[in-house]
Amino acid sequence: MRIDIDSAAIAANVRTLAARFGVPVCGVVKADGYGHGMVRAAEAMLDGGAAMLGVVDLAEALSLRRAGIDAPVLAWLHGARTDFSLAAAHDIEVAVSSLAQLEAAAGAGAPVHLKLDTGLGRNGVARGDRAAVLARAIELARAGARIRGIMSHLAGTSREADLAQLADFAAALVEAAPIGALTRHLANSQGALALPEARFDMVRLGMAAYGIDPDGPGAGDGSAAAALGLVPAMRVAARFTSGIAAIGLDDGLLPAPGAPVLVAGEAARVVAIEAGRLRIEPPRSGDGVLWGDPAEGEPSADAWALAAGTIGYETVTRMGAVRRFDADERVAEQLAVPTPDASAPRRVLELGLDGTPQRLRGEVVGVKRVEAGLAVSYGGEYVTDRPTSLALVALGYADGVARATTGRSVMLRGEALPICGRVAMDQLVLDLGDHDAAVGDPVELAHASAPELTGMLGARVAVELAGSVPDADAMEALGARLGRGLRAGDAVLLIGSLGAGKTTLTRGIGAALGARGTVQSPTFVLARTHRTAAGPDLQHVDAYRLLADADDEAELDDLDLDLDGAITVAEWGAPLEHALESWLRVEIDRGTPAGGDADDDPDALESPRAVRISGHGPGWPAARVRALASATASAPAAQAEEGTA
């Protein structure tokens, strides 16, 4: 699959919409720029005259700063571990949705926007908490806190419902008046087109800036967007042989039977989409276009959305993990997926050790008490029938949770709770009823319970491999598989109790690399170096006693490890994390052993071990971790390094 991005089209769309709205615009580039490439989209938005950029979390905002973009940036969804001092240090504005977030952000010195829930039922201060939050914001502003804006978001349920939200927002502005001058913003592209009075001081431009009609797919021909003067910025192409292309659901495509495809200038239709295979009829061969610019005779993204029963937003945003090209053939940037930390909520695709998708894991980022009769998420399809509590989860269709997953069960604290309301790009909502939840609680959405899920790897989703290893032979085979995916400068940190099988795994790594000499526990030497047929040395380290005193790093220096030129495998490796920019973490849980030391005697590794593998830092992007699940990991790993999905 090849994805071409027309940055000039994004800039032109922003200019067109900004002129129509007559107020400053915030160009939203969340979810990897709606699948178009976050940095590239941000540059185009600014070229088109955007006064601010919008992202979902601090991780995305920090990526923009690292790319050299110093324009105002606003982030509005925050995990339990968010460190708002990062926002203050990088002049990133943050929208807060609770009293706790307000206190934390203002206390850290970050510029703050107050986000209010006026009827969307997702992120934002609940109506019942509004008075207390506004009162505290007034106090903080008088004490010098940087309260810069106030915002909400329209649900688009109906004109009447949007007008009610508008009135509620206007009433809140009166309450907030003592804070002083604030940037007031309520409308996205759709709301600003439908309700000019909702434009206030700024409009947040989302999908319309990318040339997609924000009202939905319509007739599927892109005519509504064209009538607004918008040009599609994304073109998706693939090579077909006898009606088959090697692309599919795992690449982000949705099941879209009947969707149009143009192959070598001739029309065809999709008849089947599998994990990595797309079939069309008639079975044409040649270069094909899945969607692009209807003005050039190509199918539209809306046509694919219509065939899939969704909206253009989802169709294009799911392309976020695929290699992209801009108009001058330079490979566009890939969004670096952060390790879940102080800047991003947890978003993880868990695969089996064989690569089979198992579950998506996320976290609760908001819990609030709401009234009966509150419509939840876009379109108001779910309405609370009693006073209840809602939990907001930071997973959406950009992360692989298809919009069609609405109603499927999510596991929270051991209970299965259905998704209520439409799944959005970054968020889904659970009605807790009588169940308890707290910000930071982990949630899981199992593939077995939601057939709409695929192996799609969203642009901001990390990958972990997890499963059971039955015996010593299987542990050594797993090590060999990992070894085939390693290269100079890699560090593998093995975490597990005595007898877990760490040395057995290392033997497999050594076998794959062609290590010379016997790979055995380095307990009595701390580190042992093996020459290898693969080229880079294998450094086998015992870090159990290393850095027992956190203030004394001399012992690490004395080992004289070549962390750049060799492959390092460290048993008891957690103490090395502070010294590394990137590492592969392998956790081995032996459960309750019957005794014996499997590290010294591989034959003693008789009970199954639970293994979890995760990548950390820029050297281990999600696609590379995923490639380790393949028995021929070296080829996928090399591709991942080059930026392919």
Give the residue, 526 or 610, on which the prediction is more confident: 610
Amino acid 351: pLDDT: 95
Residue 337 has pLDDT above 60, yes or no: no
Q: Looking at the chain, how many residues does it have? A: 645
What per-residue confidence (pLDDT) applies to 340? 45
Q: What's residue 544's pLDDT? A: 81
Q: Cα–Cα distance between 257 and 398 in angstroms, integer?
A: 21
**Range with lowest mean pLDDT among 160-174, 386-400, 453-467:** 453-467
Of residues 452, 392, 450, 466, the one with CA closest to residue 625: 466
In this prediction, residue 596 has a pLDDT band, given cuts at 50, 70 and 90, of very low
What is the predicted pLDDT for the residue at 638? 35
User: Taking all residues of the chain, what is their mean pLDDT, rounded to a whole number?
Assistant: 90
Looking at the DSSP assignment, which residues form a beta bridge with residue 266?
Answer: 263
Helix (H) or strand (E) holding 162: helix 159-176
Residue 450 banded pLDDT, cuts 50, 70, 90 = confident
- 67-88: average pLDDT: 96
Mean pLDDT along residues 240-252: 95
Q: Is the pLDDT of residue 634 over 60?
A: no
Please check the confidence at residue 553 and state whether its pLDDT lies above 60: no
Residue 376 pairs in a beta bridge with: 382
- What confidence category does residue 525 fall into, taking pLDDT thresholds of 50, 70 and 90? low
pLDDT greater than 90 at residue 637: no
HEC secondary structure over 381-430: CEECCCCEEEEEECCCHHHCCCHHHCCCEEEECCEEEEEECCCCCCCEEE
Confidence band for 459, pLDDT divided at 50, 70 and 90: confident
Say what percent of the chain tops pLDDT 90. 78
Mean pLDDT over 249-267 rounds to: 95
Task: Dump pLDDT digits (tens) for 19-75.
Answer: 999 999 999 999 999 999 999 999 999 999 999 999 999 999 999 999 999 999 999
Residue 359: is its pLDDT beyond 70?
yes
Instruction: Name the token pair of 573.
Output: 């490796």
Residue 548 confidence (pLDDT): 54
What is the mean pLDDT of the segment spanning 489-511? 94
- For 531-546, the pLDDT digits (tens) are 999 789 999 998 886 6
Which residue would you say has higher pLDDT here, 352 or 576?
352
pLDDT of residue 636: 34
Residue type at 608 in one-letter notation: P
- What pLDDT, on a 0 to 100 scale, did the predictor assign at position 430? 97
For the chain, domains (ranges, CATH) are 7-215 (3.20.20.10), 234-326 (2.40.37.10), 348-449 (2.40.37.10), 462-642 (3.40.50.300)
Asked if the model's pLDDT at residue 244 lies above 90, the reply is: yes
Contact residues for 491 (Cβ-Cβ < 8 A; gap 6+): 563, 567, 568, 569, 570, 573, 576, 580, 582, 583, 584
* Cβ atoms of 110 and 130 closer than 8 Å: no
Query: What pLDDT score was predicted for residue 434?
Result: 87
As a whole number, mean pLDDT of residues 114-120 equals: 97
- CA dihedral 363→365→371→373, nearest 10 degrees, is -60
Task: Decide: helix, strand or coil at residue 496.
Answer: strand
